[in-house]
Homo-oligomer: A and B are copies of this chain.
Amino acid sequence: MTNGKKRLGVGQHHGDLRRSLLEAAVALLAQGERPSLRQVARAAGVSPAAPYHHFHSANGLMAAVACAGFTALEEALLATLDRTEKTAEQAPNMSATYVTFALAHPEHYRLMFDPELEPADDALERVAQRVFGHLVGAVARALPEAPRVVVQMRARQIFALAHGCIDLATAGALAKLEGPHAPRGVAEEVAAATTILLRAPSSSRRPNPE
Protein backbone atom coordinates (compact mmCIF):
# COMPACT_ATOMS: atom_id res chain seq x y z
CA MET A 1 0.00 0.00 0.00
CA THR A 2 0.99 3.60 -0.02
CA ASN A 3 3.59 4.61 2.43
CA GLY A 4 2.54 8.03 3.69
CA LYS A 5 6.08 9.38 3.73
CA LYS A 6 6.86 11.39 0.63
CA ARG A 7 10.14 10.36 -0.94
CA LEU A 8 12.43 13.11 -2.02
CA GLY A 9 12.35 12.71 -5.74
CA VAL A 10 15.76 13.51 -7.13
CA GLY A 11 14.98 16.30 -9.55
CA GLN A 12 12.49 14.38 -11.61
CA HIS A 13 11.28 15.64 -14.86
CA HIS A 14 9.64 18.73 -13.45
CA GLY A 15 10.58 18.91 -9.83
CA ASP A 16 7.40 19.64 -7.92
CA LEU A 17 4.63 20.18 -10.41
CA ARG A 18 1.94 20.63 -7.80
CA ARG A 19 3.72 23.65 -6.40
CA SER A 20 4.49 24.98 -9.87
CA LEU A 21 0.82 24.79 -10.79
CA LEU A 22 -0.25 26.65 -7.67
CA GLU A 23 2.35 29.35 -8.27
CA ALA A 24 1.35 29.69 -11.90
CA ALA A 25 -2.30 29.97 -10.92
CA VAL A 26 -1.56 32.65 -8.34
CA ALA A 27 0.53 34.57 -10.87
CA LEU A 28 -2.23 34.46 -13.48
CA LEU A 29 -4.78 35.43 -10.86
CA ALA A 30 -2.65 38.44 -10.01
CA GLN A 31 -2.82 39.47 -13.68
CA GLY A 32 -6.46 40.15 -13.05
CA GLU A 33 -8.12 37.23 -14.83
CA ARG A 34 -9.33 33.97 -13.42
CA PRO A 35 -7.31 31.39 -15.31
CA SER A 36 -8.56 28.16 -16.81
CA LEU A 37 -7.04 24.80 -16.01
CA ARG A 38 -5.38 24.74 -19.41
CA GLN A 39 -3.94 28.21 -18.99
CA VAL A 40 -2.38 27.17 -15.71
CA ALA A 41 -1.00 24.02 -17.29
CA ARG A 42 0.46 26.00 -20.18
CA ALA A 43 2.03 28.50 -17.80
CA ALA A 44 3.62 25.60 -15.93
CA GLY A 45 4.83 24.10 -19.19
CA VAL A 46 2.87 20.85 -19.06
CA SER A 47 0.00 19.25 -20.93
CA PRO A 48 -3.63 19.94 -19.98
CA ALA A 49 -4.00 16.48 -18.46
CA ALA A 50 -0.97 16.73 -16.19
CA PRO A 51 -2.73 18.59 -13.35
CA TYR A 52 -5.08 15.64 -12.90
CA HIS A 53 -2.23 13.71 -11.32
CA HIS A 54 -2.18 16.28 -8.51
CA PHE A 55 -5.77 17.58 -8.30
CA HIS A 56 -8.93 15.66 -9.00
CA SER A 57 -10.43 18.47 -11.05
CA ALA A 58 -9.98 22.09 -12.06
CA ASN A 59 -12.19 22.96 -9.14
CA GLY A 60 -9.85 21.07 -6.84
CA LEU A 61 -6.90 23.06 -8.13
CA MET A 62 -8.75 26.29 -7.55
CA ALA A 63 -9.70 25.18 -4.06
CA ALA A 64 -6.02 24.66 -3.30
CA VAL A 65 -5.27 28.13 -4.66
CA ALA A 66 -8.01 29.57 -2.48
CA CYS A 67 -6.54 27.69 0.45
CA ALA A 68 -3.18 29.32 -0.16
CA GLY A 69 -4.95 32.66 -0.25
CA PHE A 70 -6.50 32.07 3.15
CA THR A 71 -3.12 31.07 4.52
CA ALA A 72 -1.52 34.28 3.30
CA LEU A 73 -4.43 36.26 4.71
CA GLU A 74 -4.02 34.53 8.04
CA GLU A 75 -0.35 35.50 8.14
CA ALA A 76 -1.21 39.11 7.47
CA LEU A 77 -3.80 39.06 10.24
CA LEU A 78 -1.43 37.46 12.71
CA ALA A 79 1.24 40.02 11.87
CA THR A 80 -1.21 42.81 12.59
CA LEU A 81 -2.23 41.11 15.80
CA ASP A 82 1.42 40.94 16.84
CA ARG A 83 2.06 44.60 16.43
CA THR A 84 -1.21 45.77 18.01
CA GLU A 85 -0.97 45.97 21.75
CA LYS A 86 -4.14 47.57 23.00
CA THR A 87 -6.95 45.09 22.67
CA ALA A 88 -9.39 47.83 21.79
CA GLU A 89 -7.49 48.51 18.60
CA GLN A 90 -7.12 44.92 17.52
CA ALA A 91 -10.47 44.50 15.85
CA PRO A 92 -10.40 47.70 13.77
CA ASN A 93 -6.78 47.08 12.80
CA MET A 94 -7.56 43.57 11.73
CA SER A 95 -10.50 44.83 9.73
CA ALA A 96 -8.18 47.23 7.96
CA THR A 97 -5.61 44.52 7.33
CA TYR A 98 -8.31 42.23 6.00
CA VAL A 99 -9.57 44.85 3.56
CA THR A 100 -6.08 45.87 2.53
CA PHE A 101 -5.13 42.28 1.76
CA ALA A 102 -8.28 41.68 -0.26
CA LEU A 103 -7.91 44.85 -2.31
CA ALA A 104 -4.28 44.00 -2.98
CA HIS A 105 -5.28 40.61 -4.43
CA PRO A 106 -8.83 41.15 -5.65
CA GLU A 107 -9.12 38.21 -8.02
CA HIS A 108 -7.55 35.86 -5.50
CA TYR A 109 -9.90 37.07 -2.78
CA ARG A 110 -12.94 36.59 -4.99
CA LEU A 111 -11.80 33.07 -5.67
CA MET A 112 -11.65 32.32 -1.94
CA PHE A 113 -15.37 33.00 -1.66
CA ASP A 114 -16.45 31.41 -4.91
CA PRO A 115 -19.55 29.42 -4.01
CA GLU A 116 -18.75 26.82 -6.67
CA LEU A 117 -15.53 25.84 -4.94
CA GLU A 118 -15.32 22.25 -3.79
CA PRO A 119 -17.45 22.45 -0.64
CA ALA A 120 -15.90 19.29 0.75
CA ASP A 121 -12.31 20.46 0.67
CA ASP A 122 -11.00 19.83 4.17
CA ALA A 123 -7.89 21.98 4.05
CA LEU A 124 -9.83 24.93 2.68
CA GLU A 125 -12.55 24.50 5.25
CA ARG A 126 -10.06 24.43 8.08
CA VAL A 127 -7.96 27.44 7.14
CA ALA A 128 -11.05 29.52 6.40
CA GLN A 129 -12.45 28.55 9.77
CA ARG A 130 -9.18 29.61 11.39
CA VAL A 131 -9.25 33.01 9.70
CA PHE A 132 -12.82 33.59 10.83
CA GLY A 133 -11.72 32.53 14.28
CA HIS A 134 -9.06 35.23 14.42
CA LEU A 135 -11.66 37.84 13.54
CA VAL A 136 -14.13 36.60 16.11
CA GLY A 137 -11.34 36.46 18.65
CA ALA A 138 -10.46 40.10 18.15
CA VAL A 139 -14.10 41.04 18.58
CA ALA A 140 -14.33 38.94 21.74
CA ARG A 141 -11.30 40.72 23.20
CA ALA A 142 -12.87 44.06 22.40
CA LEU A 143 -16.06 43.04 24.21
CA PRO A 144 -14.81 41.14 27.24
CA GLU A 145 -18.08 41.37 29.11
CA ALA A 146 -20.42 40.61 26.29
CA PRO A 147 -22.19 37.27 26.12
CA ARG A 148 -21.05 34.88 23.45
CA VAL A 149 -24.08 35.44 21.27
CA VAL A 150 -23.47 39.18 21.14
CA VAL A 151 -19.83 38.67 20.22
CA GLN A 152 -20.88 36.37 17.40
CA MET A 153 -23.42 38.87 16.17
CA ARG A 154 -20.96 41.76 16.15
CA ALA A 155 -18.35 39.60 14.47
CA ARG A 156 -20.82 38.67 11.74
CA GLN A 157 -21.74 42.31 11.19
CA ILE A 158 -18.15 43.48 11.05
CA PHE A 159 -17.17 40.63 8.80
CA ALA A 160 -20.11 41.31 6.50
CA LEU A 161 -19.28 44.99 6.33
CA ALA A 162 -15.66 44.32 5.41
CA HIS A 163 -16.53 41.64 2.89
CA GLY A 164 -19.26 43.77 1.38
CA CYS A 165 -16.97 46.75 0.98
CA ILE A 166 -14.41 44.54 -0.72
CA ASP A 167 -16.91 42.91 -3.03
CA LEU A 168 -18.51 46.18 -4.01
CA ALA A 169 -15.15 47.82 -4.54
CA THR A 170 -13.79 45.04 -6.71
CA ALA A 171 -17.06 44.80 -8.62
CA GLY A 172 -16.83 48.50 -9.40
CA ALA A 173 -20.09 49.24 -7.62
CA LEU A 174 -18.54 51.35 -4.90
CA ALA A 175 -17.25 53.68 -7.56
CA LYS A 176 -20.85 54.48 -8.42
CA LEU A 177 -21.34 55.98 -4.97
CA GLU A 178 -19.28 58.95 -4.06
CA GLY A 179 -16.48 58.36 -1.65
CA PRO A 180 -12.98 57.01 -1.35
CA HIS A 181 -11.97 54.53 -3.99
CA ALA A 182 -8.35 54.01 -3.00
CA PRO A 183 -7.73 50.84 -0.98
CA ARG A 184 -6.31 52.89 1.87
CA GLY A 185 -9.46 54.94 2.19
CA VAL A 186 -11.74 51.93 2.03
CA ALA A 187 -9.73 50.13 4.71
CA GLU A 188 -9.86 53.22 6.91
CA GLU A 189 -13.58 53.49 6.55
CA VAL A 190 -14.14 49.84 7.39
CA ALA A 191 -11.96 50.20 10.48
CA ALA A 192 -14.02 53.17 11.57
CA ALA A 193 -17.25 51.28 11.06
CA THR A 194 -15.80 48.42 13.04
CA THR A 195 -15.32 50.60 16.11
CA ILE A 196 -18.83 51.95 15.70
CA LEU A 197 -20.33 48.48 15.71
CA LEU A 198 -18.22 47.50 18.69
CA ARG A 199 -19.35 50.49 20.71
CA ALA A 200 -23.04 49.89 20.03
CA PRO A 201 -25.24 48.78 22.91
CA SER A 202 -25.75 45.06 22.78
CA SER A 203 -29.51 45.10 22.92
CA SER A 204 -30.76 47.31 20.15
CA ARG A 205 -34.21 46.05 19.52
CA ARG A 206 -35.86 47.78 16.66
CA PRO A 207 -39.56 48.37 16.32
CA ASN A 208 -41.98 47.05 13.76
CA PRO A 209 -40.07 44.39 11.87
CA GLU A 210 -42.19 44.62 8.73
Which residues of A approach B to under 8 Å, CB–CB? 89, 92-93, 96, 110, 113-115, 119, 125, 128-129, 132, 136, 152-153, 155-157, 159-165, 167-168, 170-174, 176-179, 188-193, 195-197, 199-200, 204-210
> Which 10 pairs show the lowest CB-CB distances between chains A and B?
A164-B164, A160-B164, A163-B164, A160-B165, A196-B200, A115-B171, A161-B161, A157-B193, A113-B171, A152-B178
Would you call B188 and A209 a contact (CB within 8 A)?
yes
Write the nearest CB–CB distance from A158 to chain B, whole angstroms: 9
Would you call B176 and A156 a contact (CB within 8 A)?
no
Q: Indicate how many identical chains form the complex.
A: 2
Would you call A92 and B192 a contact (CB within 8 A)?
no
Write the nearest CB–CB distance from A61 to chain B, whole angstroms: 19
- Interface of A: prevailing SS: helix
Would you call A168 and B176 a contact (CB within 8 A)?
no
Write the nearest CB–CB distance from A148 to chain B, whole angstroms: 8
Residues of B close to A119: CB separation below 8 A: 172
Residues of B close to A178: CB separation below 8 A: 152
Would you call B179 and A153 a contact (CB within 8 A)?
yes
Write the nearest CB–CB distance from A135 to chain B, whole angstroms: 9
If A113-B167, A152-B177, A176-B132 touch, does A157 touch B189 (CB 8 Å cutoff)? yes
Would you call A172 and B115 a contact (CB within 8 A)?
yes
